[in-house]
Structure 1
């Protein structure tokens, strides 16, 4: 495997499109075609443009198949990838070169092909789009436009190689590629149903009449003007000049990035000082506008070029990279607004830089078009996202009449606070599962895999969406006896893993669970009948979530269980500590009733000190669900801190009437600290609730939503402070500072030597509770060096036979759902069988799921959120969608229930984008079963995969588990798994157009 793509011959491209479309109804994996309507035609450069959107000069306009996929999905304006004098293998590009999991970064800038190859790809694409338009009814054969992009200096642009490229794109009739494509189509016109000989003969050889000039950072204004003048006067081209956000100045860019949460994005003032300056740009643009007008050509600027930032967290293997996407939008649109005002709307502005479905209509409505996109296409849904954008821009026939400076200004102002562009307070959690991607059958629901109890999320979402709440509740309750608690305060790791995060927001799985609980609880409770409980008895020590779940799974499966609770009611921390503004007592009571509905015995106000006494009382098994009951302690040089759980218990018991003074400081950065600080703010008499943490919000362990709620409630965050002592009503803190990023991409913290004082009548420490080590030791249970019980990892049995430890009392403070996971593990060890079953989440109508792919759809209505589920266990295909080159392909294999993903080596340039979005801890371009074009390519790779030696005989050379084999379909015995054999046979028989 190398990082060089092999362009496909034109006949292979045509055959691929025709056969895939006829057999699968798709083109290069794009399921929904966009059909343009003539009434929405626009005019630019004297030509028709059916939609003012398309891919930016970049990975999506580098190969013919990329352009074809973009066209089929809705693109009509194609900014071709930049060509320059340095090309092919002489062009240094670090790989991987794209990271697009949130805002996007890349370290490549122009075509990786040789310039003559790039020219061939664009001519082939020109023909292919023309016949696709007519054959599939997508629009007029001349309804799209190619816009060439050249750089980076005048000498290079005048070189014979680039000059020939420009002239050939202006008129390709004398090129061999044009002649060969035309001849092939005419010779094979019979393959088409709607394309005629006359249609083919009518395909124009005048491919481009416009150009976008891309210049390197630091290019002098005189050089930029010389190039643009040359392109206008000598080449007679409608011309755009790419403008960089550095025109806004370093201070504006730094302030904007910091305000929007991108303070970690590092860049100096070098490029701002070295690049084109605003004072030089304006008169230059005025002169070029005048020149173009005299030549009857259109002139404008393209915003944006690139925004260079430093590599600080090993994002990419380069020293510098280029930022795009959501973080670039506020800078780019601000520059557009500034230029619109400067030129009173008369300067034409073409746009790129964070454009997507959420903002594209507003951008175009402001008179800023065409708009090209890249980052949004690099995310799941891929090219298919263009269909929605193109549809959004259907507004009748439009000609450029100027940019509306007022609208542009409003867009720039709104961008600073737009939720689609502001950075999350905390870094995104990892979306990946800690397991490698399998060679076959890799489709998986990340939400279910990310859930500690493997809740059947997609199943109950389907039922909820159909209004079948009772059935949904049964699915939930199979593994989860606490649906109200988890439907309200669960940390929802399922939502963190949801693929919808790469679209807009995750499916509100937790909210849907609560809807199902509220809608199906009563019916479920009426159905539950406590059966006969027989067999060996279990004592469950602790009546919190872990203990309740343990009793539930035991009694539900016919085993007697008794809960021993030291307090006067069940529910543990959730009942006695978590504030009522987080969850109501009524909701907790319903979960308690469900958890004990199968006949668990309950003994309240009964503290267990001796496990031996329980054994003497006739219990065969004991499950310790004691919670992390030992208070955490914050040691100060002077003064004492109150324990957070003690405060929260008082707050809840006394309805907020706790005497803690006017100024209260909470120490900590976890979820408990957030609850505490919010409760403090709501406590009678408190005026200020301060939260002190030694690092910044970004590095607090609290969930983002918990942190945001604290901010909304008025908690005053005091970051980069470490508490030292409390005296005279003041908390003295050391001022800390974050260090630079280390080799692993992490930032440390160190003292500055300075101190500050914070008014403090009371200090509350939320620094984590500890497991009851003394209790464990007193009962003969072995503990590790952290004082935690040593257990069998598969059963959670301790060193004392028949005694199990679960929940917070085992690992320290965790989540409710993790407590339920532990409870089920221990229950299953006692029962000797599974305590809950899995549900089939197969969706019969895959078309409904494909209809959702690539469609951004936000909703705040929990009941409706089931319609946003992508059904990832039935369809994933993230790696196929996000690959610009279509190098990862989903194929239908007879005899296998789901599509299989194969990686096509010759189409891949190792950009690495698929790695970001594969739900497994893997990179599909390295780890999926790979199709090689020839044996030499296979030798140059370590990938497991195959090369077809004889497609008719279905004979392949295969690398499997590091060994090489020759396999034939006729072989009845093989070490190669059946699934892989079926994949290879299917490629040879049904996907032979993949074979180079």
Structure 2
């Protein structure tokens, strides 16, 4: 039922339909009774995609696994809730523990719960599901039937691993060629261990490899293995090499030896070679990579007396490695991050920016590098910058605002490109590989590409691309024309699949046998009678618009939802005084009761979550619960159209926007 008015008093903007913002009290008892007119339309049940899922580049069925965790959608007998949620989540994304920790969560930005008080903590529930799966040792299974086709995946990062996972589920053999000594790509060599514990990463990678994926480490395709050899031995080749070459600052003097890229800096740290930095570290960026660089630099600190070979830039460039004994004398480094964007418009997640400031990082926005200043030996000593004016919408340098920022180590985290050694013909001139919307390389049969090598973006983005690329490769093997992707291209809840799972699938539609003679003007339109009985051939007035429409907050009855504070994870973010040498995991996952409580905050936008409002408020008792023996997720209520008068109260009080006054439209 609806939230009591006295509980809806905490958040400005929590509104009831038909009332002004901020009004929480009824003006009279008469207004407590829902009234409505009558129409020629009756309710139908319309499934739409929730905005969290539409905002998720991996396309996870977020609403689905949240409803499983909260207990609305029940697993099959003998299957634990946690495993059922894990299976639903990993249809799209095989890395729930990783993504629950490091994904910047565009799903939470899109969450309709923001119109009530605050988004659902999707990341925190995802981490709970992923961590539970690891501790319970849930495994993936390849398809029972092997296709006989072989795919070479070049690159063992998130895109390559996700593609291997999806291809094995389709029955195709996969070999991953990885130039490094370990799988994981940017998950291993770009994200620090205090954000992504390596035992968690290894657990989720091993689960994919154990599906029967062949792995060849320390093998660079193009030099160690020629492409011609892969063309001869494999039926398809997928480029998933990532963008692990950072871009240098495009200003004079940036060729100084102590000007390095953010990608190289993080790789040296994550490989254990870089153990301290310089006294004054200046980072140019504004995205997540730059935040990782400054946070690592604050944790590493600097050593005052070092030899030429031990300078941090020589370690970053691979000429040396730091000695652990030398690193024991570390002191806190002076670390600054500058961005061309104003701080409030930087691409990095806001909470990551806040954490970096707490850790002692100085951040300045709206500054543009002009020149690297060098000493007589050619080493950088400072960076000249100029302030930018955004008052006219686009950045313009402000004359007379030039200033010099002193630095001993300058790190550019301003963009990435691919490493094309031995693969030069595939470079599109921008350090990337061109691919069409199906992730096929144009004019190169059997070649496909996915991930950062197409366009550097989020981990969740490359995982979503890998899923589409796997579909494309599968269709290529079947000699099928590449199917048009849906407008809302995600992993949708499928009511027919759910009915099959619980043995309630409708029987085959045979008009001559089932319908009998009917007047011509009636045709075969009616599904009310056809869907009532168990095993009927129709699903009772259910319309699936999920592949084309997203359920917006103005379609919901927000008055149903009481103010419920978010169940937040504990975060161990060190202060500026504590950060030196602090490499413990920052995010502590939710316990099961908190994860379930957070899942219950989900409003299940676009799909019934069995609140009974429509049944309770219907004045004609036309809306009824589906008998338990016939009921399942998405099939909880039905309408008796002999009783319905078209008052649309059920649609008004439906919290999820699932009921539409559609019957009667032509």
Relative to the length of structure 1, the TM-score reads 0.43
Provide, for residues 76-111 of structure 1, a one-character-per-residue CA deviation record: whole Å limited to 9, x for no partner.
6xxxxxxxxxxxxxxxxxxxxxxxxxxxxxxxxxxx
Give secondary structure in 1 for the equivalent of 2:399: strand
Alignment partner, residue 292 of structure 2: 675
Partner of 2:457: 814
Q: Which residue of 1 aligns with 2:387?
A: 736
Counterpart in 1 of 2:664?
982
Residue 230 (structure 2) aligns with: 614
Cα deviation 1:437-469 (Å, max 9, x = unaligned): xx9947431111111222111121122234821
Equivalent residue for 1:456, pick from 58, 61, 76: 61
Deviation at 1:651, TM superposition (A): 1.7
Tell whether 2:409 aligns with 1:765.
Answer: no
- Give the C-alpha shift of residue 691 in structure 1: 0.6
DSSP 3-state at the match of 1:717: strand
Corresponding position of 1:857:
565
Aligned to 1:791: 435
Offset of residue 794 of structure 1: 2.5
Match of 1:502 in 2: 115
Question: Which residue among 337, 344, 366 is the counterpart of 1:720?
Answer: 366
Q: Is the 8 A contact 1:474 1:524 kept in 2?
A: no
Pair 731,801 (structure 1): closer, same or farther in 2 beyond 3 Å: same
Query: Equivalent residue for 1:562?
Result: 175
Q: Which residues of 2 match residues 532-571 of structure 1 at below 5 A?
A: 533-571=146-184
| Matched length | 480
Give yes or no for the alignment of 1:445 onto 2:445: no
User: Which sections of structure 1, spanning at least 5 residues, go unmatched?
Assistant: 1-24, 26-30, 37-50, 77-128, 137-438, 877-890, 901-918, 921-928, 930-978, 985-996
- Give distance in 1, aligned partners of 2:187 and 2:374: 34
Cα distance change, pair 507–869 in 1 and its aligned pair in 2 (3 A): same
Cα gap change, 1:33 to 1:541, in 2 (>3 Å): closer
TM (norm. structure 2) is 0.63
Match of 1:292 in 2: none
Match of 2:244 in 1: 629
In the alignment, which of 240, 243, 253 is matched to residue 638 of structure 1?
253
Corresponding residue number in structure 2 for 1:465: 70
Q: CA deviation at 1:770?
A: 1.3
Secondary structure (helix, strand or coil) at the match of 1:753 reads coil
The residue that corresponds to 1:690 in the other structure is: 336
CA shift in 2, pair 1:572/1:32, >3 Å: closer
Q: Which residue of 2 aligns with 1:647?
A: 265
Q: Which residue of 2 aligns with 1:520?
A: 133
1:646 CA drift (Å): 1.2
1:404 corresponds to: none
The whole-number CA distance in structure 2 between the counterparts of 1:699 and 1:819 is 23
Stretches of structure 2 that go unaligned for 5 or more consecutive residues are 35-43, 72-79, 303-331, 484-488, 500-555, 570-589, 610-621, 627-633, 640-655
- 1:576, CA displacement in angstroms? 1.7
2:395 aligned residue: 748
Cα-to-partner distance string for 1:732-768 (whole Å, 9 max, x where unaligned): 323313232x4xxx35332332222222111011111
How far the C-alpha of 1:130 sits from its partner, in A, is: 5.6
Pick closer, same or farther for the CA change 1:465–1:786 going to 2, 3 Å: same
* 2:195 pairs with 1:582: yes
Provide closer, same or farther for how the CA distance between residues 132 and 479 of structure 1 changes in structure 2, counting only shifts above 3 A: closer
Q: Which structure features the higher share of helix residues?
A: 1
Query: Which of residues 694, 702, 709 in structure 1 aligns to 2:348?
Result: 702
Structure 2 Cα separation of the partners of residues 819 and 664 of structure 1? 31
Question: Relative to 1, partners in 2 of residues 1:719 and 1:838: Cα closer, same or farther, differing over 3 Å?
Answer: closer
Q: Which residue of 1 aligns with 2:545?
A: none
Aligned pair partner of 2:603 in 870, 873, 880: 870
Is the CA contact (8 Å cut-off) linking 1:446 and 1:498 kept in structure 2? yes
Please identify the structure whose Cα radius of gyration is greater: 1
Q: 1:799 to 1:709 in 2, by over 3 A?
A: farther
Question: What do residues 800-848 of structure 1 show as CA deviations (whole Å, max 9, x unaligned)?
Answer: 101001101112x2111111111111211222289996445899xxxx9
CA contact (8 A) 1:540 1:551 kept: yes
* Partner Cα separation in structure 2 for residue 667 and residue 622 of structure 1: 36
Distance of 1:852 and 1:513 partners within structure 2: 25
1:475, 1:635 → 2: CA distance?
Answer: 45
Question: Structure 1 residues 899 and 806 mapped into 2: Cα distance closer, same or farther (>3 Å)?
Answer: farther
